[in-house]
Structure 1
Amino acid sequence: MTLPYAEVIGDPIVQSKSPAIHNYWLGTLGIAADYRAAHVTAEGLESYLAKRREDPLWRGCNVTMPHKQAVMPFLDRLEIGAEMVGAVNTITRRERSGEVRLIGTNTDMAGFMEPLLPMLETPHYFRMARVLGTGGAARAIVAALAEQGVMVVLAGRDPAKARAILDEIDPEGEHHVADLSHFADPTDFAFDDREGCFDLVVNASPLGMAGQPPLLFDLTHAPPGSIFYDIVTYPADTPLLQAARGAGFRTIDGLSMLIGQAAVAFEKFFGSPPPRDDGDAGLRALLAK
């Protein structure tokens, strides 16, 4: 029997945990469907989407590096979040009256914010985040934080690109840019009293991922009480998180964002919310194997 299916696409793709996540949920719910990984290069992206458009069994795909912006010209419509962020991480196929439309969505915003929202329910005197990276995920993260009144310092190898992202996503915000190398060396900056403040450090780049160069971030750049959030998932416990935890900082791993955004995409693909009653403990145990 041929089953409905969804996919994750990227280049590379071997490191993706999305098939394990979605197939775990499909199996738990007893849904007769499949979720796969597809290696798609930049040159093959247009052809891939054209073929899948014609496949009635294809429910859509998640989009990972480096295609989150490149897919946009090949889609028929962008949902509001994707349009605001300027990046797509989920594509769904919709057919009505014989017409097929590919819809671009961004679930990264919801996935990233899921573990942070309980902390942001409390009012703060000041909210600040140092976000490292300027790719598609960083765009979603900046948009999500700006919605919560967080002042962002966006750091990248090209500060001009970082400034363009901030100006496009939140032109009225009082945000700042920095060269990524600024955070590599120690600082003797004396942080003021952080009582009642919310401070966040986010690695939104692939640096620190297995096979990628390390992320050079000296912990002296983090105010006391900062939360470290690394969206890298391979490995989930990155060198940045290990160092931050060893210094007494609270940490959030990339599986939190990955599972959160996958939950939104899963319902779009398969029409049912995923089973998460155990707080994702069973899924995390599977992914740790």
Structure 2
Amino acid sequence: MERIRVRLDVAYDGGGFSGWAVQPGRRTVAGALVEALDRLLGPGAATGLTVAGRTDAGVHATGQVCHVDLADAAWAPVAGTLLRRLNAVLPTDVRVRAVAAVPADFDARFSATFRRYEYRVTDAAFGADPLRRHEVLAWPRPLYLAALTEAARGLLGEHDYAAYCRRKEHATTVRELTRLDWRRDPDGLLVGTVQADAFCQSMVRSLVGAMLMAGDGRRPTDWPGSLLRRRERAGEVPVVPPHGLTLVAVGYPDDPTEYARRADATRRLRLPAEA
């Protein structure tokens, strides 16, 4: 039976979910998607749900990507309407932004070339705006953009980020950060952007926590980078709350013929660490 691989681009407010992955008795993003697909296509019609990055409880996404496999007979009747139908039955804190058939060797996880996150912080004296409190961290001290920028500079590149990760048995904590920068938007919010091919558990929120301590002057700006010499989790680094973090983009090769090659290369690099 011929099967069609379907890419779903997904956005969600993570505040009401216990993360991405299906968990018995808990509300999760994957669970909501599976329920919607089963309702529209029949139980088990969509198989192999695979996501680019498993976000933790409370983390949001505007640019998440996943894929499922459908029998051709199930896909053909809904190819032009599945986007509308899914959003009609999904809860309002999850939206599927795009639906598309993709080559069979596309893999939402392993074909990805990067994941990009943004973390939003306010240092306003009154805290977070009430309408944005679910996506913005209120920091109780003034933050200085120049200090945040300098702290970020020391963390860029390929390093062992053991000080910033929850170590897993047989897992590598070596990663390459290809982007790490801060900006202050016209509304006063500070936005930290971090991009890498992959991240360890809690890595982004730990990096942000260290940079914020340098950004408010409690630590020198070279302190976050100095922790890269460690080979175990740095207990003095705070893990900032999840609600300020959003997965904003996942990158893939421009040439679809490169999906399989990229997936093979990623599996060789990551599977021993993430299995």
Q: Same fold (TM over 0.5)?
A: no
Structure with more relative contact order (C-alpha pairs < 8 Å, separation 6 or more): 2
Counting strand residues as a fraction of each chain, which structure ranks higher? 2
TM-score (norm 2): 0.23
TM-score (norm 1): 0.22
